[in-house]
Structure 1
Amino acid sequence: MQLEIAYQLAIITVVAFGCQWLAWRIKLPAILPLLLTGLALGPLFGVVSPQDLFGDLLLPGVSLAVSIILFEGAMTLRFDEIRGLEKTVQRLVTWGALITWSVVTLSAWWLLELPLGLALLFGALVVVTGPTVIVPLLRSVRPVSSVSRLLRWEGIVIDPIGAILAVLAYELVVATGQDGAILHSLWLFFQAILVGGGIGTVVALGLAELLRRHLIPEYLRSFLVLSTVIGEFVLANGLSEESGLVAVTATGIVLANRKGVRTDDILHFKENLSVMLISVLFIVLAARLEMEELSRLSATALAVLVIIQLVARPLSVLASTLGSSLNWREKSLLAWIAPRGIVAAAISALFAERLTQNGVEGAEMLVPLTFMVIIGTVALQSLTARPLARLLKVAEPAPRGFLIIGANPVARAIGSALQKNQFPVTVTDSSWESIRAARMEGLGTFYGNPVSQHADQYLDLVGSGKLLGLSPRRELNTMSTMRYRIEFGEQNIFSLPTQKTEKEVKHEVAPEHRGATLFGPEMTYARLASLLSQGAEIRKTRLTEEFGFDAYLNTPGRQVWPLFAIDGRDRILVFTAESQPEPKAGWHILGLVKEDVAKEEAKAEARAEAAAEKIAADKEKAKEPGKNKDN
């Protein structure tokens, strides 16, 4: 069933979004539904035909898209993240890559009976992991920071190395029987590293100066970087084959670690662009496969997949982590996680087409074998990595904690109530007196400005999933909600309201910058502080069928302001001016409760009477020994 080009493009775009949304809902890397959808749209039902759709632009377009994706990943790599683990990263992308290449090559040559040249090429293709699959997997697995950082660095740095190894193997295949073929291939390898690294570094330094000196208007910054990355990728490839990926990776890493250069807006743009490119690429590349090629895969192909997972990866990690600070639990998880991604898929398609045109026997099996490894590693590791991380006790806790801006009395009271109910809290403040008081109350603390460079490096957000702006300084609350919006998600950012007057409306912060309004439009910092000073307390109340939420709100003799609701699955919901949870029987309410004056006086009298009775009883007990002596 062949559709018009416009319909095919629309289907790819809409289905790509659907796959990304589904992956987000079920907490799996999006590559799995994307690949399966591509197989269904292409070889299974014939709805999409990438070759007819894009023609000669297909493979060049794929190459450019991969360069943008790799550059975006490289821009997230900062050297201070891997301090102490530098040698491990170096070994993973050098000795580890060579071990994986060797094991896979021998397996493919022996079990699949591929020619040695093709086996070398296949081994080089599946050396790479890649940010397209590593980053989504890390989001769902949430391993400890050491494992997470190593996997991210390895996945990005090894992509261009794997691509160059594939070029080396390709040259060996096409130059088989010619004198000096091995030396020529080695020369190409080092040439690609030098050319790509040199161009990438020079381009990064040039971009950094343009951005640092503000020579480019704000609205053109992302466009400048995008066009430069595409230009350098094509230039480097023209000078030395596949050195373009080295160039864009080097540019991303140098730019990310250049001091005085703000790249947050560029990175945000590139992240959104990468998500769209990845989604379309996986569907298009999977749709290019032929059912006949897939049906030719035998049980021996699955045996190669098992060797890749259970032999090649563990050996690679074992050799790379010798003498490192990682414990055996972290090494075990590292040895299990290595899903293959878009670079393997794209390069296999590129070289398979070239080899087929050159009449190389067995070249048609390169793409289906690579996709088998991609689908197999992603499916297996997506389903097992999180349980394994929990079993090994190297998974970070679920993000149920709170980052609270401010360590003032209001923030400490709310923080203490949350922590008593097993919701971890970290309060931040630049006032040492407030931080010391918070520590005395047993709260987690960070002494400093939450939007400072120091906070970027040292503020531990592990386990934190929500932000509460409780500072009396509304500017600090606003800056914090803007800074951590991407980190926590817009739905998890909250701040206190400010008092409004007609004169101050034009000075009000826009709603999209301050997050949801905590507790209600009248619950300003001054109002909360006043209620607490008047004796109001934060209490936990359980709702039942007989005592529902309406009864809780309308209990005689007291005033209540609900702050949080804890549902039957121990999930916490925040009461805001924009949305109110609907608590049910079995839920708990954390609310600010203020007893009426008459009731408070009665309680005070009762406490005084009880104290007087206790004193009298103690005096009577003190007299009893004397009476016993007289007797």
Structure 2
Amino acid sequence: MLLTNVATLAPLLAASDEHVEMVAVEDLSTLVTVTAIVLVVAVAAVRLSARTGLPSLLLYLLLGVALGEAGLGVAYEDIETSLVLGYLALVLILAEGGLTTSWSDIKPSIAPAVLLATVGVVVSVAVVGAAGHFLLGLSWEVALLLAAIVSSTDAAAVFSVLRDVRPKARLAGILEAESGFNDAPVVLIVVALAERLTEGVDNTPLVLLPVLVLAELIGGVLVGLTVGFVGAWVMRQLGAAASGLFPIGVMAWIVLAYGVAQLVHSSGFIAVYLAALVLGNVAMPHRATTRSFAQGLGWLAQIGLFVMLGLLASPSELPGQIVPALVLGAVLLLVARPLSVAASTLWFRMPVRDQIFLSWSGLRGAVPIVLAIVPIVLGAQNLQWIFNLVFVLVVVFTLVQAPTMPMLARRLGVIDTEHARTLDIESTTLEELGADMLEITIGEGSRLHGVEIFELRLPVGADISLVVRDTGPFVPTPQTELRHGDQLLLVVPVGLRETAEARLHAVDRAGRLAGWGSDEG
């Protein structure tokens, strides 16, 4: 029978007496001090990340290595606990991703994203698995297991880079949705393949594996949507609760989705992401507070996860895996990922430049490194080297891909020069009025330049309340002329948000006469 990811906790539970050591009271001050210093350094790493173009999460990984055996000498080798904490961190990261993702932004991208997370994963596993077998001489079972481990893009890494690159809305939506969806099928495949290399475990026949994976995914989808909508209804009834407690209740529903899905032998990760997506997109009070709370938990989970994985690494064992990691990483980046994107977007007539950007943007991060622990925890023999290989692959190819993404996006012309995003402003007045506040940035190529505000012909009730320009912020008049580089604050009734955004995009493309001719935007 196919064991879902909760089954990997069994060895930990069985060996808990051997691995869990309670922290003595006299050690608490040292633990708290070191943890606080790590968090302060991690926060500082965000600024360094902005200057270098590297995801800050990679810097956290290297921070863990610096704290470990080759640096300050912190000893940490508890693989089983690491897997449990890794899964918990992934739950919080997916919860943050779902809560902060706008359904209207990713809705047009759902179909290609789902195909990338399913068909794309199968293509990637097949191609990288074949490379591992023929180029590295691995057995088919080990090669396919390794391919499955590295096939998942990482939500934390993708979200981190997209904040700076800002590609076109459809491309950003595909990448965000794919990274939220693909953890679930990949975890199921990795566990199933790892079981086949473990003695004493009932193996699922390979012909049944796709059916069982699909069944668990469907179960996770049903659980996630059900818990999400039920949780939204309950939390609306509790809307009068203090804003400080409200986000805790929302997160509790999301974590509940994971637990319920696992109890009924379905995918907990897909359940978490969908429950969070529902709760993040329905009308609820304290929405900004909830998102801020989720983002804080997500950052804390990411920092802890990457530092912990860095602590697990043994730098002395990494050089031996550099060549295999470069071989498989090159095949993954230059062959498997482009084929996955082409196969998944075949029906959508996606331009070649968009496919190239999607291919280069398939960042790997903590997820493959966490999944590399699974075979070890399950008891598969002689596979400890997989962790080191995956660790090297993630570090090297993050260094290659992440800093070059902004330049590639500019060369391909896929940057969104005019964008609008919801501002997370905690304002009871706005919530009671049923209004949203958007920030619009006018890019260098936008035809909004030179248009006076009254010429925008925004829907009744929508109003540009502030313009921020080089000379400073000011309240505009209907005759205020917009310029390149302006930042606008737009207050719009919730029901008219899409109409207002569509009108702005139309004028951005066609100028003040948009709508009078054939181009309605």
TM-score w.r.t. structure 2 length? 0.73
Q: Is 1:228 matched up with 2:282? A: no
1:506-552: CA deviations, max 9, x gaps? xxxxxxxxxxxxxxxxxxxxxxxxxxxxxxxxxxxxxxxxxxxxxxx
Counterpart of 1:380?
400
Q: Structure 1 residue aligned with 2:491, among 450, 474, 486? A: 450
Q: How far apart in 1 are the matches of 2:369 and 2:231? A: 30
Q: How far apart in 1 are the matches of 2:489 and 2:402? A: 38
Q: How far apart in 1 are the matches of 2:194 and 2:503? A: 44
* Distance change in 2, residues 1:181/1:31 (3 Å): same
Q: Is 1:15 matched up with 2:41? A: yes
Question: Which secondary structure does the structure 2 equivalent of 1:134 belong to?
Answer: helix
Q: Is 1:354 matched up with 2:377? A: yes
1:274 offset after TM fit, Å? 0.5
CA contact (8 A) 1:430 1:448 kept: no
Counterpart of 1:105?
129
Q: Structure 2 residue aligned with 1:92, among 91, 116, 119? A: 116
1:194 offset after TM fit, Å? 3.6
CA contact (8 A) 2:462 2:491 kept: no
CA contact (8 A) 1:432 1:447 kept: no
Question: Which secondary structure does the structure 2 equivalent of 1:296 belong to?
Answer: helix
Counterpart of 2:272?
248
Matched letter for residue 48 of structure 2: L
Equivalence map 1:297-312=2 (5 Å):
297-312=321-336
Q: Structure 2 residue aligned with 1:367, among 381, 387, 395? A: 387
Counterpart of 1:206?
230
Q: How far apart in 2 are the matches of 1:133 and 1:111? A: 29
Q: Structure 2 residue aligned with 1:331, among 326, 338, 355? A: 355
CA contact (8 A) 1:19 1:33 kept: yes
1:545-600: CA deviations, max 9, x gaps? xxxxxxxxxxxxxxxxxxxxxxxxxxxxxxxxxxxxxxxxxxxxxxxxxxxxxxxx
Q: Is 1:41 matched up with 2:67? A: yes
Matched letter for residue 162 of structure 1: V
* Distance change in 2, residues 1:265/1:368 (3 Å): same
Matched letter for residue 230 of structure 1: V
Counterpart of 1:559?
none
Matched letter for residue 457 of structure 1: E
CA contact (8 A) 2:333 2:360 kept: yes
1:303 offset after TM fit, Å? 1.3
* Distance change in 2, residues 1:45/1:171 (3 Å): same
CA contact (8 A) 2:166 2:172 kept: yes
* Distance change in 2, residues 1:239/1:141 (3 Å): same
1:52-98: CA deviations, max 9, x gaps? 7xx86443222112101112112234443244444322321221111
CA contact (8 A) 1:8 1:48 kept: no
Q: How far apart in 1 are the matches of 2:103 and 2:324? A: 42
1:461 offset after TM fit, Å? 11
Q: How far apart in 2 are the matches of 1:322 and 1:164? A: 26
Q: Which moved more, 1:282-291 or 1:425-434?
A: 425-434
CA contact (8 A) 2:246 2:286 kept: no
Counterpart of 2:369?
345
CA contact (8 A) 2:42 2:303 kept: yes
* Distance change in 2, residues 1:120/1:431 (3 Å): closer
Q: Which moved more, 1:299-308 or 1:169-178?
A: 169-178
CA contact (8 A) 2:127 2:336 kept: yes
Counterpart of 1:162?
186
Matched letter for residue 38 of structure 1: G
Q: Structure 2 residue aligned with 1:143, among 144, 167, 187? A: 167
1:407-426: CA deviations, max 9, x gaps? xxxxxxxx99x999x97888
Q: Percent same amino acid at aligned positions? A: 25
Q: Structure 1 residue aligned with 2:311, among 282, 287, 290? A: 287
Q: How far apart in 1 are the matches of 2:416 and 2:114? A: 25
Counterpart of 1:182?
206
Q: How far apart in 2 are the matches of 1:425 and 1:45? A: 58
Matched letter for residue 364 of structure 1: Q
Q: Is 1:316 matched up with 2:340? A: yes
Q: Is 1:133 matched up with 2:157? A: yes
CA contact (8 A) 1:130 1:343 kept: yes
Counterpart of 1:389?
409
Q: Which has the higher contact order (CA 8 A, sep 6+)?
A: 2
Question: Which secondary structure does the structure 2 equivalent of 1:50 belong to?
Answer: coil
Counterpart of 1:530?
none
Q: How far apart in 1 are the matches of 2:45 and 2:165? A: 19
CA contact (8 A) 1:96 1:320 kept: yes
CA contact (8 A) 1:75 1:255 kept: yes
1:111 offset after TM fit, Å? 2.5
Q: How far apart in 1 are the matches of 2:414 and 2:92? A: 32
Matched letter for residue 225 of structure 1: V
Q: How far apart in 1 are the matches of 2:204 and 2:402? A: 44
1:225 offset after TM fit, Å? 2.2
* Distance change in 2, residues 1:35/1:442 (3 Å): closer
Q: How far apart in 1 are the matches of 2:452 and 2:310? A: 45
**5+ residue gaps, structure 1:** 404-414, 465-631
Question: Which secondary structure does the structure 1 equivalent of 2:362 belong to?
Answer: coil
Counterpart of 1:480?
none
Question: Which secondary structure does the structure 2 equivalent of 1:297 belong to?
Answer: helix
* Distance change in 2, residues 1:372/1:318 (3 Å): same
CA contact (8 A) 1:191 1:240 kept: no
Question: Which secondary structure does the structure 2 equivalent of 1:182 belong to?
Answer: coil
Matched letter for residue 258 of structure 2: F
1:247 offset after TM fit, Å? 1.7
* Distance change in 2, residues 1:179/1:451 (3 Å): closer
* Distance change in 2, residues 1:387/1:443 (3 Å): closer
CA contact (8 A) 1:109 1:116 kept: yes
How many residue pairs get aligned? The number is: 440
User: Which one has the largest radius of gyration?
Assistant: 1
CA contact (8 A) 1:396 1:463 kept: no
Q: How far apart in 2 are the matches of 1:459 and 1:175? A: 61
Counterpart of 1:192?
216
Question: Which secondary structure does the structure 2 equivalent of 1:48 belong to?
Answer: coil
CA contact (8 A) 1:317 1:331 kept: yes
Q: How far apart in 2 are the matches of 1:81 and 1:398? A: 14
Equivalence map 1:399-438=2 (5 Å):
427=453, 438=478
RMSD: 4.1
Equivalence map 1:554-569=2 (5 Å):
none
Counterpart of 1:272?
296
